Chains A and B, each alone.
Chain A
Amino acid sequence: MTQSNRIDGGLIDRDRALSFRFNGKTMTGHPGDTLASALLANGQRLVGRSFKYHRPRGIFSCGSEEPNALVQLRTGAAQEPNTRATVVELYDQLSATSQNHRGPLAFDFMGVNDLLSPFLSAGFYYKTFMWPKAFWEKIYEPVIRNSAGLGKLSMKGDVDRYDHGFLHCDVLVIGAGPAGLSAALAAGRSGARVILADEDFRMGGRLLAETLEVDGMPGVDWAAEALAELSSMDNVRLMTRTTVYGAFDHGVYGALERMTDHLPTSGNKPRQVLWRVYSKRAVLCAGATERSIAFGNNDRPGVMLAGAVRAYANRYGVAPGKRVTVMTNNDDGWRTATDLLAKGVKVAALIDTRTGITRTLDGVRVETGSGLIDTKGHNGISWATLQSGIKIETDCLAVAGGWSPNVHLTCHQRGRPTWSEDIAAFVPGSDLPPGMRVAGSANGTMTMGACLTEGRDVANETIRDLGFTASRKAAAKAEDEASDITAFWHMGGSKARAWVDLQNDVTTKDIKQSHTEGFRSVEHLKRYTTLGMATDQGKTANVLGLAILAEASGKTIPETGTTIFRPPYTPVPLGAFAGRSRGQDFKPFRLTPSHDWAKSNGATFIETGMWLRAQWFARPGEKGWRDSVDREVTMTRNSVGICDVTTLGKIDIQGRDAAAFLNKIYCNGFAKLALGKVRYGLMLREDGLAYDDGTTARMSENHFVMTTTTANAVTVFRNMEFARQCLWPDMDVHLISTTDGWAQFAVAGPNARKLLQNVVDEGHDISNEAFPFMACGEITICGGIPARLFRISFSGELAYEIAVPARYGNALMGVLMEAGKEFDATPYGTEALGVMRIEKGHAAGNELNGQTTAAMLGMGRMVSKAKDSIGSKLSERPGLNEEGDLRLVGLRPVDRSVLLNAGAHFITKGDTPSMETDQGWMTSVAYSPSLGHSVGLGFVKSGTDRMGEVIRAYDPLRGKDTDVEIVSAHFIDPEGERLRA
């Protein structure tokens, strides 16, 4: 196909040809083209099918407001539906296909919908698919879903990369048209840090599309000079291909930068970057969007916005038609005619809906006080019919219905635009987002000279706010072109449908019908007709729709009001919101110090929060996890096992009041903890429920080391910091986390001491006499390496936890194994850890689930009455201290061969299972290799008074019903002889 509609001029590089494909057809364009301009240059008017009626549609606009020319870009996994051809920068080998048709584009089988249009008007679905009820899910919904939507997803994972970023500036200028460039120049010259962002790939806005002069030179040249000056300033950052899509709190703006969309490949770099822009002030120079006029069959390919037709001719060197007709209600439409004539494009007629216009154009039929009522043409306009019945032969209809300021971002914090009769459009209201000012046509200032001046003035006002001195340099000069308008919304006089919203196939009839049926609020109108929805968010349709609703209701437009604009201004891919947070990079991983050792010694890892912990260490011949876990438990209980417990939170506590502070944090007493001793502590929440447990060691008079559970490490630290700073600021106490700083290992089992004696340096006596249960101390190991030793036990065995600076952690794991060789020491993972704590009856996360009290856990007497601590008073609430409360007990199956399930509920024998007869629930279960059967922990009503009773562990979810005996939670060594050995 040749570029049959290419004309002279334009900002394209004719020396280079770019080859691209549309629906498999190869075409050529040039750098500087958009896909839309290249399609038009190649004479391709028909580019897609409409949403509902499958009407043939062409290119309507030249920017991000495009409702019609949506295409699928790229192929395979990179395929992207609903891409606006008007903003797709042409690149070599680009491949696009049209959307929403079955069969070829030029003959869409779904076009039958157009014949059915009398039945498909507003509210069709609501009225039609009411009955029979059973049809909805099986028949109607699948059919509607199948025919709905525009493009198709590839159904493959997104192959592209996306990133996020943070930018900071004094002044964010949004839009680089005449007002934006003028504002950026003024702000930049003052020395303020400026970001100028524009969605286009070339900055200049309408300066690139118009023939108006600025400072005595073509607007394009002035824009280039302005950009050269701006690029030379270190304090100015120019961001092309960047859409500021939302105005958020505190001067934060969201912006999407398309980094590689204009390149054939992204080269493994992010395709798009989603920026969070922190601005002190913002100047919105987003320009204005032209709108159409409604008349019969005003949706055919070839019917376009007049400003877009002019832009294609001036900026892209493309004549959208060979015989163009202009229909306008304002002076701006005339410039389309004059610019086309200057380019040698034939203008068939100019129709101005206004009366009293005396202006003429050489060789052009001019009709005033009149309008078009219908068009004809298969897959594109070929005739237009005037009110008078006269037919005009034409292949492109340029419609100028007036310009609507792009007020969207002014409304993102609930601002409401106000109606300006002068320009027949909404302009920004007074309630702008804090820090935002508006300049240029976004502000309703519709002429070039005024835009340039306003951009500078508003920027100067803005930077003075920030304490900068404004440059005295005057704004660039341009004449103020004629811009009078007399509002005109739609032509009657024809039965043909007149389109308002091209993307959603909403016609004037739909709006009137919606009003008749009682949907009178503009927000209801939107939901009922879908006016203003979907990818274009009604940028070309909203004001027209409101005007027609106003007309139908006999109200003014300001009385009718407008729907609220919300972010994003234009669509943002979900991938961009996700950024890097995908797959492996969804969240950070925390590794324990002995991770490398575990990895090379057969560990299977499990995620616990962000930590990766060894779950068990499989040995050759072990057939499943149970084999490994049973062995690890048995070897530990019989000799010695080693487990990395670094993940437990560690908090270093220092200060003159550290002991008194801990006494308030823990519900049990800590004030009198002796030097060199560790104590188990329980924390309550403010409401008296159990919160977290752990141990705290007194290293010196004013120095304590606390451990918390892995899960609550961060929140406990945060709550203690709150208590320190806000509850008791008069206490001298200081906290810092040392969780990552110390590698800590549990060494448990009857041979634990002997193993440690192999590594502890001489001079440190760790015998039972010198270092009894609950002792702690600073020692050295392996020839001088500092270590902390705590004699505490989670497993119930003779056990220690030994901590060394994390840098020695991986080595220490190997050394402990080596030193334990003579005892056949085993490493053990979180599963064996869990089995042993259940055998011993120690509470963990399943029992400390935020619903349980100290009394329920069997630790009611630990809550000291002799002092005040967080939660102690509220733990005395009657509701938490009733007769028959739940108590933690052990449970074992009457038939020892049955495996128990956590989550089962307890029912007294003989009762019918129900909420009323519920006696509690099973919290933790494990197969105990030490006992040879399954054991469980659970809360049973008055459980401690029911020892020996057999109850049912009822589990309808898994279809189990097991008789269990209530026993002590301490299955192993209830007297604690082992851990004191």
Chain B
Amino acid sequence: MPDFTLTPTSPLKGFDKQFGDIRLREVTDQAILSLATPLGGETALKAAVGSAWGLEMPAPGRSSRADDGKVHLLGLGADQIFILKPHDHLQPDAPVREALNGAGYATDQSDVWAMLEITGPGLRRALERICPLDLHPDAFPVGAVARTMMEHMGAIILRSGEDAFILLAASSSAGSFLHAVETSLNWTAP
């Protein structure tokens, strides 16, 4: 039998570009998992998440992050969170299932999404062209997360720092999404 090798490619092929002071890059080293709370299993899952990563279950719209920054929990719904953590396992859901020991339902979402990080001062002026949400720090502080639509595409936006956001968009339409973000940056560049 001949040896075949499968070489992975990311949806945006590692895009990384500077637009003035703003940097837009694809994040390729993160695993994304969804975690659903079993009906009536809130307490057990809270305990399991606490003992697995020392983190609180985030309320919808909020996120919690481990001190070492490695595990990031995003509250996306009443019974759903997303987990961002380093992609260090061929089946990222396996170790999570193991760690939670049946207290939650994990599904690998790593390849469902393309992940972009946008950093730099004044980036809100670019995002306000496509993001309908209020990203003012009073309304959307560091750690806030939301599902929304940008240019007809479903997206998840997380404020990861004062001047930093993580954007998740469907991997199949990642090219169109990147084009939308790039266009906004180009059109609002000074």
Using CB atoms and an 8 Å cutoff, list the residues of chain A in contact with chain B.
161, 163-168, 193, 268-270, 273, 276, 278, 580, 585, 587-592, 596, 610-611, 646, 652, 654-656, 702, 730-732, 734, 736-742, 757-759, 781-786, 804-808, 810-812, 815, 818-819
Stretch at the interface among B47-55, B61-69, B174-182: B174-182
Interface residue ranges of B57-116 to A (CB < 8 Å) = 79-80, 90-91, 105, 107-113
Q: How far is the CA of A789 from the CA of B1 in the complex (A)?
A: 19
Q: Is B36 an interface residue (CB 8 A)?
A: yes
Known: A588-B151, A740-B170. A193 touches B136 (CB 8 A): yes
Contacts of A165 in B (CB 8 A): 128-130
Within 8 Å by CB of A811, from B8, B138, B173, lies B8
Contacts of B109 in A (CB 8 A): 736, 738, 741
Q: How far is the CA of A805 from the CA of B90 in the complex (A)?
A: 9
* Minimum CB–CB distance for B95 against chain A, Å: 13
Known: A269-B187, A654-B36, A734-B105. A819 touches B2 (CB 8 A): yes
Contacts of B170 in A (CB 8 A): 590, 740
- 16 further A-B contacts with Cβ under 8 Å, apart from A590-B172, A808-B8, are A163-B187, A269-B187, A276-B132, A580-B180, A590-B173, A596-B9, A652-B107, A732-B40, A738-B108, A740-B112, A740-B172, A741-B112, A804-B6, A807-B111, A811-B8, A819-B2
Tell me whether A734 and B2 are in contact (CB under 8 A). no
Tell me whether B111 and A167 are in contact (CB under 8 A). no
Q: Is B3 an interface residue (CB 8 A)?
A: yes
Q: Give 1 or 0 for each of B1-20: 1 = CB within 8 Å of chain A CB.
A: 11111111111000000000
**Chain A binding surface, main DSSP class:** mixed
* Minimum CB–CB distance for B153 against chain A, Å: 5
- 17 pairs across A/B with beta carbons < 8 Å? A161-B187, A165-B128, A166-B131, A269-B187, A589-B175, A590-B172, A591-B175, A736-B36, A741-B108, A742-B111, A782-B5, A786-B90, A805-B111, A807-B10, A807-B111, A811-B6, A818-B4
Q: Is B34 an interface residue (CB 8 A)?
A: yes
* Minimum CB–CB distance for A761 against chain B, Å: 10
Contacts of B3 in A (CB 8 A): 783
Q: How far is the CA of A794 from the CA of B125 in the complex (A)?
A: 49
Q: How far is the CA of A781 from the CA of B4 in the complex (A)?
A: 9
| Residue of B whose beta carbon sits closest to that of A810 | B9
Q: How far is the CA of A588 from the CA of B180 in the complex (A)?
A: 9
Q: How far is the CA of A585 from the CA of B183 in the complex (A)?
A: 11
- Give 9 nearest A-B pairs by CB, closest first: A588-B176, A734-B36, A168-B134, A806-B111, A732-B39, A807-B8, A741-B112, A590-B172, A654-B105
Q: Is B38 an interface residue (CB 8 A)?
A: yes
Tell me whether A588 and B91 are in contact (CB under 8 A). no
**Chain B binding surface, main DSSP class:** loop
* Minimum CB–CB distance for A637 against chain B, Å: 25
| Residue of B whose beta carbon sits closest to that of A652 | B107
Contacts of A785 in B (CB 8 A): 6, 90
Q: How far is the CA of A585 from the CA of B129 in the complex (A)?
A: 15
Interface residue ranges of B118-140 to A (CB < 8 Å) = 128-134, 136, 138-139
| Residue of A whose beta carbon sits closest to that of B112 | A741
Q: How far is the CA of A808 from the CA of B1 in the complex (A)?
A: 20
* Minimum CB–CB distance for B93 against chain A, Å: 10
Tell me whether B6 and A589 are in contact (CB under 8 A). no
Contacts of A740 in B (CB 8 A): 111-113, 170-172
Within 8 Å by CB of B9, from A161, A164, A270, A807, lies A807
Contacts of B180 in A (CB 8 A): 580
Contacts of A278 in B (CB 8 A): 134
Contacts of A815 in B (CB 8 A): 4-6
Q: How far is the CA of A815 from the CA of B2 in the complex (A)?
A: 10
Contacts of B139 in A (CB 8 A): 168
Tell me whether B128 and A167 are in contact (CB under 8 A). yes
Tell me whether A589 and B111 are in contact (CB under 8 A). no
Tell me whether A741 and B110 are in contact (CB under 8 A). yes
Tell me whether A784 and B34 are in contact (CB under 8 A). no
Contacts of B171 in A (CB 8 A): 740-741, 806
Tell me whether B183 and A580 are in contact (CB under 8 A). yes
* Minimum CB–CB distance for B56 against chain A, Å: 21
Within 8 Å by CB of A819, from B4, B113, B136, B173, lies B4
Q: How far is the CA of A260 from the CA of B111 in the complex (A)?
A: 41
| Residue of B whose beta carbon sits closest to that of A821 | B2
| Residue of A whose beta carbon sits closest to that of B78 | A725
| Residue of B whose beta carbon sits closest to that of A587 | B152
Contacts of B5 in A (CB 8 A): 782-783, 811, 815
Known: A589-B173, A738-B107, A807-B9. A270 touches B2 (CB 8 A): no
Tell me whether B128 and A655 are in contact (CB under 8 A). no
